[in-house]
Amino acid sequence: MSKKESFFGSIFKNKRNDEANEVDILNSIIEERNQIINQMKEELIEEKKKVGIDLKQLEIYEKNLKNKDKKNLELSNHILDLKNSKVELEKNFENLKNNHEKSSLELKLLREENQEIKTKYLQLSETYRLIEGENQNLKLSKEEVKNQLEEKINRLNELKDEGNQMQILGDSFISKDELEGLRVKIDSLNKLCGEQRDKINSLESELSHKESMVDDFRERLAEALSPKSDEIRYELPIEELFSASKFSEIKTALAEMNFSLVRELKEKSLVEILGEGIKNIETASKILEDYFSGKTSWEIKTYLYKGDKLSKIFSRQRKLLNYFSDNYMEFASDLDNFEFDILLQEGFSTNHVEKFRDILDEYNKQRRI
């Protein structure tokens, strides 16, 4: 339910209660006047019995009674009008309720779609991790095979040299059976070397295919996760870009000079702003240069599009964070068009809801582009 719907719903409800109270009051007045009329009639009858009543005076009494009956009729008509207004208000309230249910359904569908996107991202990340691991294993296997092959080729050359030397020296140094045994071993080694070469060629082909798959996956993943320039929605704080502890001196110096956002560092280099004596300023300058040229990590790109995590914005609100988690909301952008009044149904007080809304408004003023 939107804030506007909640407001009108509250007005209709209060108006309906006021009109119901007014009907009760009017009914009470009618009952009281009926009692007075009955009492007057009884008194009139008693007077007739005792002393008789002048006709003119009797006409006056009858006229008064008619006037009272007329007022009673007017009150009855007014009560009927109030009842009709009540029915109309109930219809309007029912329409508002239906609109709220429709909005809740649309919000649920959006949350489900958001969860589906997150699931696909996790699947892509896991696939990338597995491919990287397999790629690394293939590289290790290739190196091992090459090392083994080199050892066996060296050993084969040694045996060939020994065989040539033995053949030159003649049968006086080695028997024919021993020489034949060496030849068999050499043939076996030649065969093994051929098998190893085939295995290396197969591994190289498979490795090339895997590397092609990894490159293709990287391109698709980068395209999926990299926001376009017109999709950047949040200002990037300096502390997010230089999050590593080794840049603490740089962050402190910039904060003392009232720099808080990365875009404020675009006109001048870090060396021009801070000088050359600060630790790790060359590394920080390279990171800043890459950022302004569009080269940065997926975490930074995610921040530019989705903002801070809700766990940071509402760091001390455990119950609220549990609600966000149950509804698949993780980043500031997930609260776009979020109706905080729905939290009243989750047991949060009106003061808490207003506090949460103020926290998000203040965050958006500082970070939202």
DSSP secondary structure, 250-284, as one string = HHHHHHHTT--BGGGGSSS-HHHHH-S-STTHHHH
Decide which of 2 and 279 is more confident: 279
- C-alpha 48/C-alpha 202 separation (Å) is 129
Average pLDDT over residues 318-334: 94
Residue from 39, 47, 110 nearest 68 by CA: 39
Question: Which one of 43-57, 109-123, 194-208, 298-312 scores highest in mean pLDDT?
Answer: 298-312
Note the pLDDT of residue 334: 94
Average pLDDT over residues 159-169: 56
Q: Where in the chain does DSSP place strands (E)?
A: none
Q: Which residue do the tokens 């903002």 mark?
A: 307
Burial of 313 (0-12, 13-18, 19+ CB in 10 A): buried
Decide which of 51 and 92 is more confident: 92
Residue 254 has pLDDT above 60, yes or no: yes
Burial of 250 (0-12, 13-18, 19+ CB in 10 A): buried
- C-alpha 311/C-alpha 325 separation (Å) is 10
The pTM of the whole model exceeds 0.85: no
pLDDT classification of 162: cutoffs 50, 70, 90:
low
- C-alpha 183/C-alpha 162 separation (Å) is 11
Reduce the DSSP state of residue 227 to 3 states and report it: coil
Residue 36 amino acid letter: I
Model confidence over 101-127: pLDDT tens digits? 665 676 666 667 656 666 665 666 666
Note the pLDDT of residue 218: 65
Reduce the DSSP state of residue 107 to 3 states and report it: helix
Residue 213 amino acid letter: M
- C-alpha 153/C-alpha 193 separation (Å) is 7
For residue 44, give every residue at least 6 positions away whose Cβ sits within 8 Å of its Cβ, in sequence order, or none.
53, 58, 61
- C-alpha 306/C-alpha 335 separation (Å) is 10
- C-alpha 315/C-alpha 63 separation (Å) is 77
Percent of the chain exceeding pLDDT 70 equals 61
Note the pLDDT of residue 327: 93
Residue 295 has pLDDT above 70, yes or no: yes
Note the pLDDT of residue 80: 75
Note the pLDDT of residue 216: 72
Decide which of 146 and 296 is more confident: 296
Note the pLDDT of residue 159: 61
Q: Where in 86-133 does DSSP place strands (E)?
A: none
Average pLDDT over residues 137-152: 62
Decide which of 130 and 267 is more confident: 267
Residue 181 amino acid letter: G
- C-alpha 259/C-alpha 262 separation (Å) is 8
